[in-house]
Amino acid sequence: MNLHMSMAVKNIRKIKNYKPLFAKAFGNGDVTEDRIAKAIATFERSVISPPSKFDKFVSGKKDALTDAEVNGLHLFRTKANCINCHNTPYFSDQKFHNLGLTYYGRKYEDLGRYVVTKKNEDVGKFKTPTLREVSENKPYMHNGLFPELANIVMMYNAGMGRETPKGDQINDPKFPHKSEMVEKLHLTDEEVFDIVAFLKTLNSYKYKMRPPELPKS
């Protein structure tokens, strides 16, 4: 949240009434980086998306999806290869892939996983995101450059981004390489829109979370 963790510790320590809450959760009232991280992670694990149309279909309610949505699901698993990365009930393999969106040496350059690992093979890799609630998550990708789901599926259809080394870049060991799992898909326009229709079935209903009263002083 654009704030250094040490500042978060300082700020939360200043709010005296957090102390008993930390004591209740962790045994004593010490406010530390590790405890703040654990508390936030525990909260995040409680944010679960309720059953979607897709979940109802999979659990046996055959008419939960329209023909177009079923066809989209079929393509997602077959011709369009999406499931190779967007798999498991979470719709993510939790791995890092390069989709050719590094914008290497250009205005929007983002080296992705490399920034953390410093390994050349990680340049331009990003973690596969979940697709649950995806139609509510625009704009898309790590840089928010894609406004609509249809833009993304069309990009995948075209084989995603292309990074071609220019001049000296040929010998640049850091030059990013697109995953071999991403290639032209040859989907028709109708198939693209069926996949988009399927992606929308991963939504559940909107609900408002009521925040508890938090200590202010």
Q: Where does this chain bind ligand HEC (CB under 6 A)? A: 80-82, 84-86, 97, 99, 101, 126, 128-129, 131, 134, 137, 140-142, 149, 152-153, 156, 179, 181-182, 195
| Burial of 168 per CB tally in 10 Å (0-12, 13-18, 19+) | exposed
Q: How far is the CB of 81 from ligand HEC (least distance, A)?
A: 5
Q: How far is the CB of 91 from ligand HEC (least distance, A)?
A: 9
Q: Residue 187 carries which side chain, given as an amino acid letter?
A: L
Q: How far is the CB of 210 from ligand HEC (least distance, A)?
A: 25
**126, 95 in Cβ contact below 8 A?**
no
Among residues 5 and 145, whose Cβ is nearest to ligand HEC?
Answer: 145
Among residues 18 and 112, whose Cβ is nearest to ligand HEC?
Answer: 112
* Sign, CA torsion 178/116/82/93: positive
Among residues 10 and 142, whose Cβ is nearest to ligand HEC?
Answer: 142
Q: How far is the CB of 65 from ligand HEC (least distance, A)?
A: 16
Read off φ and ψ for residue 121, nearest 5 degrees.
Answer: -70, -10
Q: List the one residue out of 64, 11, 56, 59 whose CA is nearest residue 33.
A: 11
